[in-house]
């Protein structure tokens, strides 16, 4: 639905799916496409500030190399520009984690596994996007420019994948990488107004990503169309045990669950309205919509998530702490010091309890074609220091299930509000398949339209 | 017990605990100590071949810098040389994973978190030690020299931390780092004859370690004395919920479990004899020794471990596979291709079943002061291509519990045979505390003596 009439689009307006055939056939050169994006970035990024490293000469050099590849050697992502959250290692660009302890102009020298894969398929690593310090939840302590929400620069783009969410929603790049430990992909996707997909935990390599909580950290994608997610799912070889049918999913008679979760009391008017409007639209299109009420145990998941953040944070930041404690943000240092006095028993109970709930949720999810749940408590709040509340996302992260922010709704101030589609672990392809049909309805009739701002 | 008379020891013969006070006080310079180790390595490593990267000039330069530090600025590990398995990133040395796809003379540019911590505490990163390709279980495909067992060069040192185990047991270095996904710390420690400690999974950061199975991969240590493990446990801030008493653990009336596991039918004569001799010795020292019979469910753990290896391997090596499939060892490529046709359902069942057993084993372990179990099926086998059977270790790795190879016994050919001490998750300090008393008995009366070969 976001595609509009492609013949009238500028290159920078295109989705990955739209631009790739042009790049592969040479109808559009990678150099010209890159210049179009750089121009868009030049126009917009003084306001949005999504990028912390963007080297035009490196980009254009690499674009030229890609253009010189014979057609039969062009990879499945030939020339596709990708923005990379600055907690993911890139051999030709620095990785600074927005931490004073790792400030550097030196390229990392090493590619994260996901970057290796992207380069092997012909993608063009474009630049590094802004993050909170070590992708953590706490704000303050930024030593770089604060990213703004492209829909309203007085508002936060969300975090911690702030720049990746803002850059894609602002049509500065078609695809970006983010990571989610609490709600760091889904929340910025909702706040900025784009698709944000966190696959099943473990479905994509985490080697070379900043490690805060290995039990939670997941790499995922921001894009502007559902087709682009299918493209990336193919590229990264995401598979389900039962392959999805090739024909389009029909909403008529589909069984959709609406899961308000035990966190529903936090939902603001925008999210309440989006959930009810979604239900109405799905019913109008013939779907059977049911409330999903989770068993009591699920009421504790956010506490367990919090315990894992603290328990794993204690180990993860020891190196930086010992090397350079004064330049580490206090909130990070406090993990190492275990200022919350979390015991190992509490930490292990969190692990073991949530491990019991994972197959239980898979069973619940398998009864539906899709489950919809809030992405955020409401629209992006005013101010840049606080990246917003992750509590609507954390449960899905720790349950390890695929979670996808769908767009189409708006809050009281006209800013985008997303809803999250979730499914059982390792049913990522099924989730994308059903979500595509749902996304068409939401984008078409939900009320909020994706469009480049100026 | 390994210490002997320290005044007659050459520097290279000392343990970390013995040498550190000398280095800190300046009684022995880091330069002289390093030269002593380099000399030992020079004498022995043409046979043992433990090192894949050893830069004397870098070492001596860094040693000089450490010697020039004022006494009050010397860290807790001042001047301590550490060998690093070549799957762990080091900013000043290459990391090659013994893979043709990552052959390089370029320093990695980045330190793994554990290396950051070591450097911050004053350790001297000495060189990189030999590993199997990506620390995987399969042999063949080595592009570097094959490491030998220092006790008998015709025998394997075990894997995948081959060089780290061999170098410590051969008195070439006092401390080395390894990683364990199946049995890659405990097995080489047993085969070569030294202590090998795999802490609770997650107790030490895994950022910057090769990622094969994030659910299993654990960083740990090889040393020649139990005191050195206490030193490292302090350095890496391993803590239990209940602190261990400061006085020595008394074996009299201690409750020790002997756990033969469901894999006992694989035990060869050396391991059978070591288990029975251990029981005898502990009883002679007044301990109450009981058999620990695990519930039926534990019979399946090795299958679940195998499923996790395959399932996580599929994701972990995608980058190298897409970039350079022909130069990737077939056994690694086959993970990506999922030649075993593992379904996600089988993979998730493995996760969920073993997650149920973790707290169940913790409960069992909490009834004993310590549980002893085999480290290996028997002595190091003849030949270098096959690094031996990991099946005695894998269960403890996937249960996430701390596992420590104790030395002191010998097999039919006079080679060392270790036994593993295990405990509940996050009782690492308790495990070391009790094991110290047990280790004294085993080293003193078990029959096999640690000594430098020539």
Contact A211 B211 (CB under 8 A): no
In angstroms, rounded to a whole number, what is the distance separating the alpha carbons of residues B318 and A239? 14
Tell me if residue A180 falls in helix, strand or coil.
strand
Considering CB atoms only, which of A109, A114, A311 is closest to B109? A109
Predicted pLDDT at B343: 98
Predicted pLDDT at B2: 47
Once rounded to an integer, what is the mean pLDDT over residues B324-336? 92
* DSSP assignment of A89-110: -BTTB---TT-GGG--SS--SS
Pairing of strands A81-85, A51-53: unpaired
Tokens at residue B54, please? 């050893």
Considering CB atoms only, which of B202, B210, B344 is closest to A426? B344
CA distances from A73 to A27, A66, A327 (A): 16, 10, 47
Residue with tokens 């491990």: A355
In angstroms, rounded to a whole number, what is the distance separating the alpha carbons of residues A281 and B160? 56
Q: Residue B223: enclosing H or E segment and its boundaries? A: strand B218-223
Determine which one of A24, A34, A49, A85 is catalytic: A85
Q: Cis peptide before B160, with omega less than 30 degrees from 0?
A: yes
Once rounded to an integer, what is the mean pLDDT over residues B288-294? 98
Using CA coordinates, name the residue in chain B closest to A121: B322
Considering only residues 86 to 105 of chain B, which have any Cβ-Cβ distance to chain A shorter than 8 Å?
89
Cα A96 from chain centroid (whole Å): 19
**Chain A touched by B426 (CB under 8 Å):** yes
Considering only residues 296 to 355 of chain A, which have any Cβ-Cβ distance to chain B shorter than 8 Å?
311-312, 315-316, 318-320, 322-323, 343-345, 347-348, 351-352, 355
Residues of chain A with pLDDT under 50: 1-2, 140
Are B163 and B179 a contacting pair, CB within 8 Å? no
Q: Cis peptide before A68, with omega less than 30 degrees from 0?
A: no
State residue B219 phi and psi, 5-degree precision: -90, 140
Contact B343 A204 (CB under 8 A): no
* A107: chain B residues, CB-CB within 8 Å: 109
Q: Of A319, A81, A120, nearest to A210 (Cα)?
A: A319
Are B77 and B115 a contacting pair, CB within 8 Å? no
- Sequence-distant (6+) residues with CB within 8 A of A312 are A212, A213, A214, A215, A216, B202
Considering CB atoms only, which of A107, A114, A311 is closest to B319? A114
Tokens at residue A370, please? 């899709």
In angstroms, rounded to a whole number, what is the distance separating the alpha carbons of residues B133 and B147? 13
Q: Does domain A8-297+351-445 have CATH number 3.30.110.30?
A: no
Q: pLDDT per residue over A308-362, tens digit each?
A: 999 999 999 999 999 999 999 888 999 999 999 999 999 999 999 999 999 999 9
**Chain B touched by A117 (CB under 8 Å):** yes
Neighbour-count burial for A173-198, b at 16+ CB within 10 Å, e otherwise: bbbbbbbbbbbbbbbbbbbbbbbbbb
Contact B205 A109 (CB under 8 A): no
Considering CB atoms only, which of B116, B121, B316 is closest to A205? B316
Q: pLDDT per residue over B226-267, tens digit each?
A: 999 999 999 999 999 999 999 999 999 999 999 999 999 999
Confidence of residue B382 (pLDDT cuts 50, 70, 90): very high
* DSSP assignment of A255-276: EEEE---TTGGG--HHHHHHHH
Residues in chain B: 454
CA dihedral B393, B395, B401, B403 (to 10 degrees): -10
Pairing of strands A255-258, B175-180: unpaired
* B322: chain A residues, CB-CB within 8 Å: 116-117, 120-121
Please give the DSSP secondary-structure letter assigned to residue B340.
T
In angstroms, rounded to a whole number, what is the distance separating the alpha carbons of residues A82 and A116? 13
In angstroms, rounded to a whole number, what is the distance separating the alpha carbons of residues A295 and A363? 12
Considering CB atoms only, which of A214, A315, A322 is closest to B120? A322
Determine which one of B160, B162, B176, B391 is catalytic: B160
Residue with tokens 């979604």: A278
Residue B121 confidence (pLDDT) above 80: yes
**Chain B touched by A49 (CB under 8 Å):** no
Contact B320 A116 (CB under 8 A): yes
**Chain A touched by B47 (CB under 8 Å):** no
Determine which one of A137, A184, A316, A331 is catalytic: A184
Q: Walk across the sheet containing A370-374 and list its strands.
A: A51-53, A124-129, A81-85, A175-180, A218-223, A195-198, A403-410, A416-422, A370-374, A255-258, A288-291
Please give the DSSP secondary-structure letter assigned to residue A296.
G
What's the burial of B13, exposed, middle or buried (CB within 10 Å: 0-12/13-18/19+)? buried
Predicted pLDDT at A138: 59
Tokens at residue B314, please? 């599929």
In angstroms, rounded to a whole number, what is the distance separating the alpha carbons of residues A192 and A170? 8
Active site residue B184: yes
In angstroms, rounded to a whole number, what is the distance separating the alpha carbons of residues A322 and B113? 10
Residue B207 confidence (pLDDT) above 50: yes
A-interface mutation test, from B90, B203, B318, most A Cβ less than 10 A away: B318
Mean of per-residue pLDDT scores for chain A: 95
Are B332 and B133 a contacting pair, CB within 8 Å? yes
Pairing of strands A416-422, A51-53: unpaired
In angstroms, rounded to a whole number, what is the distance separating the alpha carbons of residues B420 and B16? 22
A-interface mutation test, from B76, B94, B99, B113, most A Cβ less than 10 A away: B113
- Sequence-distant (6+) residues with CB within 8 A of A42 are none
A-interface mutation test, from B202, B240, B341, B357, most A Cβ less than 10 A away: B202
Tokens at residue A88, please? 């993911």
Please give the DSSP secondary-structure letter assigned to residue B243.
P
Are A108 and A89 a contacting pair, CB within 8 Å? yes
In angstroms, rounded to a whole number, what is the distance separating the alpha carbons of residues B95 and A206? 18
Distance from CA of A358 to the nearest CA of B (A): 8
Determine which one of A34, A136, A137, A160 is catalytic: A160
Q: Where are the domains of chain A?
A: 8-297+351-445
Contact A110 B89 (CB under 8 A): yes
Tokens at residue A16, please? 């990955």
Q: Of B411, B414, B434, nearest to B424 (Cα)?
A: B434
Residues in chain A: 454
Are B287 and B255 a contacting pair, CB within 8 Å? yes
Distance from CA of B46 to the nearest CA of A (A): 31
Mean of per-residue pLDDT scores for chain B: 95
Cite the DSSP H helix spans in B170-212.
186-192
- Sequence-distant (6+) residues with CB within 8 A of A46 are none
Bridge-partner residues for B53, per DSSP? B128
**Chain A touched by B236 (CB under 8 Å):** yes
* B351: chain A residues, CB-CB within 8 Å: 355, 358
Bridge-partner residues for B256, per DSSP? B289, B370
Determine which one of B85, B138, B198, B260 is catalytic: B85
Using CA coordinates, name the residue in chain B closest to A344: B241
Distance from CA of A325 to the nearest CA of B (A): 11
In angstroms, rounded to a whole number, what is the distance separating the alpha carbons of residues A452 and B4? 75
**Chain B touched by A426 (CB under 8 Å):** yes
Q: pLDDT per residue over B276-289, tens digit each?
A: 999 999 999 999 99
State residue A221 phi and psi, 5-degree precision: -130, 150
Beta strands in B17-98 (DSSP E): 51-53, 81-85
Q: pLDDT per residue over B135-158, tens digit each?
A: 886 554 555 568 999 999 999 999
Considering only residues 184 to 213 of chain B, which have any Cβ-Cβ distance to chain A shorter than 8 Å?
202-207, 210-211
Residue with tokens 């109405």: A280
Contact B315 A347 (CB under 8 A): no
**Chain A touched by B73 (CB under 8 Å):** no
Residue B1 confidence (pLDDT) above 80: no
Q: pLDDT per residue over B394-407, tens digit each?
A: 999 999 999 999 99
Contact B318 A236 (CB under 8 A): yes
B-interface mutation test, from A337, A348, A366, A427, most B Cβ less than 10 A away: A348
Q: pLDDT per residue over B3-15, tens digit each?
A: 557 778 999 999 9
Tell me if residue A419 falls in helix, strand or coil.
strand
Predicted pLDDT at B138: 59
* A236: chain B residues, CB-CB within 8 Å: 318
Instruction: Give me the CATH code for the B6-297+351-445 domain, please.
Output: 3.90.1300.10
State residue A269 phi and psi, 5-degree precision: -60, -35
Active site residue B375: no
Distance from CA of A59 to the nearest CA of B (A): 20
What's the burial of A341, exposed, middle or buried (CB within 10 Å: 0-12/13-18/19+)? exposed
């Amino acid at each position: 639905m976001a595609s509009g009439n492609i013949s009238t689009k500028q290159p920078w307006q295109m989705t990955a799916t739209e631009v790739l055939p042009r790049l592969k056939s040479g109808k559009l050169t990678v150099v010209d496409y890159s210049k179009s994006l750089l121009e868009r970035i030049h126009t917009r990024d003084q306001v949005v500030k999504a990028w912390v490293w963007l080297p035009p000469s490196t980009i254009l050099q690499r674009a030229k190399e890609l253009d010189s590849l014979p057609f039969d050697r062009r990879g499945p992502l030939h020339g596709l520009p990708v923005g990379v959250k600055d907690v993911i290692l890139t051999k030709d660009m620095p990785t600074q984690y927005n931490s004073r302890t790792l400030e550097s102009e030196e390229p990392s020298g090493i590619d994260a596994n996901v970057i290796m894969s992207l380069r092997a398929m012909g993608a063009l690593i474009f630049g590094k996007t802004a993050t909170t310090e070590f992708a953590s939840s706490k704000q303050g302590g930024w030593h770089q420019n604060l990213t703004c929400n492209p829909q309203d620069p007085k508002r936060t783009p969300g975090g911690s994948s702030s720049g990746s969410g803002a850059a894609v929603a602002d049509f500065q790049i078609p695809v970006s990488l983010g990571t989610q430990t609490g709600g760091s992909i889904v929340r910025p996707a909702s706040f900025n107004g784009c698709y944000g997909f966190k696959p099943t935990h473990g479905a994509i390599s985490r080697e070379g990503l900043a490690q805060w909580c290995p039990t939670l950290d997941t790499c995922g994608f921001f894009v502007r169309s559902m087709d682009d997610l299918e493209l990336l799912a193919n590229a990264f070889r995401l598979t389900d045990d039962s392959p999805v049918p090739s024909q389009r999913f029909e909403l008529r008679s589909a069984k959709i669950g609406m899961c308000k979760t035990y966190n529903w009391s936090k939902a603001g008017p925008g999210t309440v309205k989006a959930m009810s409007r979604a239900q109405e639209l799905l019913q109008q299109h013939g779907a059977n919509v049911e409330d999903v009420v989770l068993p009591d145990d699920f009421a504790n998941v956010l506490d367990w998530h919090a315990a894992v953040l603290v328990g794993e944070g204690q180990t993860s930041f020891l190196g930086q702490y010992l090397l350079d404690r004064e330049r580490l943000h206090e909130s990070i240092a406090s993990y190492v010091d275990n200022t919350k006095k979390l015991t190992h028993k509490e930490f292990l109970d969190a692990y073991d309890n949530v491990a019991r709930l994972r197959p239980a949720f898979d069973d619940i999810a398998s009864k539906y074609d899709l489950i919809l749940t809030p992405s955020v408590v409401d629209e992006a709040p005013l101010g840049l220091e606080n990246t917003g509340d992750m509590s609507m996302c954390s449960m899905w992260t720790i349950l390890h299930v695929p979670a996808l922010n769908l767009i189409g709704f708006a809050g009281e101030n006209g800013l985008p509000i997303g809803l999250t589609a979730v499914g059982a672990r390792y049913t990522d392809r099924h989730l994308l398949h059903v979500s595509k049909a749902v996304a068409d309805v939401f984008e078409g009739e939900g009320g909020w339209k994706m469009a480049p701002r100026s």
